[in-house]
Structure 1
């Protein structure tokens, strides 16, 4: 009987795990939040992943449960573990990815380099942090934010007054995370994969370009990365994976500062946008690697398939129904481009697909990827 992986969440990350799992003879089952989601090809159940009974019923006959996102509540994860379900990554690791304040505390415990930060419960505490850090800082809601949501750069505590009011209305109290406004030269990402038995595989460190808080482009490997930076990023990724007990893929988002330090920004414990280039640019894609890792199968090689890989996201997309009309012109004009779409309705700023180009010349790969992606933009 084939091994069965149950993925909670029906988004594009689950969608992109289906093909490599199938090639390995592994059956994929998906608990989607709603009909018609990106991973509908393998959606064997539709339901609320915040409901323990729904998730337990879905997990009843799979070999391992993993995730398309980090938002499954801890009580549901605990119910899975109590029922004897193999869950990778596990609840303790996921808790760090679910709450940015928990993340900062755990990074401090591990001795990982990170921005100055504080958990603040009111405007007075936030203003004190601002006064100590040049009058400007980044404020984040601890839970639920992604792709620029739940993040603000503020110059006065009053600019977060609505978030503090929402915490008060919630009735459970709570805090916001405030971080120093890092003087960084660029953003990087380090991906590692780790099996439950401890084997680790490390990918090349990459440069990521963000626009409006959303990943827009990735260059692999990171240009102008000397041996010291490559080693430091890899060592940091491995230390975090081992220190937190992460199983599956881990993406460590990093700042490279103007004085050439690296600082941990955020973590993702699943395949991540910064690793989409691996579909066409690495011997083993992050999607295949995640499936291997959570099943505790031997990990694949992470070597690059070409000197350079470039990933460009398709953000927004054309009018609904027009996506397929753009394929032929894009493929004809850019035959080296690999176009991946997610089956999602267009919306301003929404990730609806991406383009990968691999080759010997970075400038040409950048041009081809950007030009191919432009065919899908109105």
Structure 2
């Protein structure tokens, strides 16, 4: 069936299904998901579709099918981070080199816009910051850092009446306010200088009671910049799904924080911290590694499926930590962990969680400090992915379920 009225070529369900290479029932599934518009015609003629819209959907479907990995995993187009077997890049620039030369805020701006902004500073607005601090203060004493960051994000969202504006300018404005608001909402361990200083300095005073020195602050800033993004980790995929549904940036960040609550993503730094602390207390890493293996647990901080050798983020952090005299014991313990574990598995190398644990242990930070650093750093990357997703077709992150339950019809229970 073809309908040329109003200069628009309309086709029937069967022709649309043929163009899309699907069954007629699937055409209506596209309609229910908002991917295709239909128009009910006169009685007996059924629904018709704009031929150009169907053809465009068919082209997109072919592109997305071609964008799947050999293992059948979905592949999302992104211009943010490229990971190779021995290094990774932000917008085509070596990420380690970029993070080593520029502060976290500058790296975040580059990831968001593709433009380096020397001296970039993030400032928390009084309203959202006050709201975030109030809800964090109301949490039980046993609340962890991710709990605090989640409620702070929700409070900052409610305090921002422009959160539903998804234009790039508005999203960037929200991002530049949200990141410092999250840091400013965390309780302080020691009183530090206030003002428009580097984010790493403000975060430091919420992680440890020790007086910061310049080299330690630069190492914390390097960790933040290295962790800003790392392709489609589980939390980042959650952010893109939320953004695909056109959730505002605060809600998208909340989705990422929710994924970090799982035991398989985000907690490795805490486990590595405890392992290094125990190794220092027992005078060596070998018995600690043995205990992990005896209990059937993986040794934390080792291995990464995306890199052949040592995680380049770990390599960069270890190099910076070597210049800190107070980091020497924890660094030696980490090296012993790697040497002990590699005795049986020669290809096992340190990852960024182990290097981050050396930083947190040597600077007198608690075990959960690594989670805090990771979540704060990755917030900027989540915003970058949300920005990309807002430019894509809405609701494209909607896979089809493969039903394998009992076939209908069945009697009511």
Higher strand share: 1
TM range (shorter): under 0.3
Higher helix share: 2
Tell me the TM-score normalized by structure 1.
Answer: 0.28
Larger Cα Rg: Structure 1 or Structure 2?
2
Tell me the TM-score normalized by structure 2.
Answer: 0.26
